[in-house]
């Protein structure tokens, strides 16, 4: 266990040396298109159906399912793609054991985990959180 903590510390120390990146106009355009597609989701759309719809729209260059899912998970962890089952990591830590004990529609069939798994089209986008975190680039 101690070795793993040392590795994590080394990774975190290295991470702090990486300079912030500035998104390009292409990055911003792709992100804006993605957010618009999420906003347009049918009420009952699941994260899996959203992934399929976005892949079909071809707005993500070099689309790769699990890389893209990770990007959606970040939006869920930031609270931009809200869910009614677990708070996003941005708002506080929820122990993994507690997350595993939450039952929600589809929880036994999906390889998508909370908080993203709890999102539905009816939840759309938390516009306040989106503006707070990305309003400076989405103008």
User: Could you report the per-residue pLDDT of 56-69, keeping only the tens digit for each?
Assistant: 999 999 999 999 99
Token readout for 32 is 């804006």
User: Could you report the per-residue pLDDT of 74-129, keeping only the tens digit for each?
Assistant: 999 999 999 999 999 999 988 888 888 887 766 666 788 889 999 999 999 999 99
Q: Are 80 and 125 in contact (CB under 8 A)?
A: yes
Decide if pLDDT at 11 tops 50: yes
> Which of 106, 113, 102, 43 minimizes the C-alpha distance to 72?
113
3-state secondary structure of 36: helix
Q: What is the pTM of this model?
A: 0.83
In angstroms, rounded to a whole number, what is the distance separating the alpha carbons of residues 8 and 57?
38
User: Could you report the per-residue pLDDT of 17-65, keeping only the tens digit for each?
Assistant: 888 888 999 999 999 999 999 999 999 999 999 999 999 999 999 999 9
Q: Are 111 and 51 in contact (CB under 8 A)?
A: no
In angstroms, rounded to a whole number, what is the distance separating the alpha carbons of residues 81 and 127?
9
Q: How far apart are the first and last CA of the chain?
A: 46
pLDDT number for residue 61? 92
């Amino acid at each position: 266990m101690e070795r793993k903590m040392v590795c994590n510390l080394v990774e975190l120390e290295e991470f702090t040396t990486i300079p912030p990146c500035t998104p390009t106009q292409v990055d911003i355009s792709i992100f804006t298109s993605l957010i618009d597609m999420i906003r347009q989701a049918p009420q009952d759309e699941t994260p899996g159906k959203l992934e399929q719809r976005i892949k079909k729209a071809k707005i993500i260059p070099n689309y790769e399912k699990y890389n893209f899912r990770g990007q959606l998970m970040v939006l869920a962890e930031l609270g931009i793609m809200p869910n009614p089952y677990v708070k996003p990591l941005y708002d506080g830590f929820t122990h993994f054991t507690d997350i595993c004990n939450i039952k929600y529609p589809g929880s036994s069939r999906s390889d998508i985990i909370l908080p993203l798994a709890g999102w539905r089209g009816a939840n759309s986008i938390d516009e306040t959180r989106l503006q707070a975190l990305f309003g400076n680039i989405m103008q």
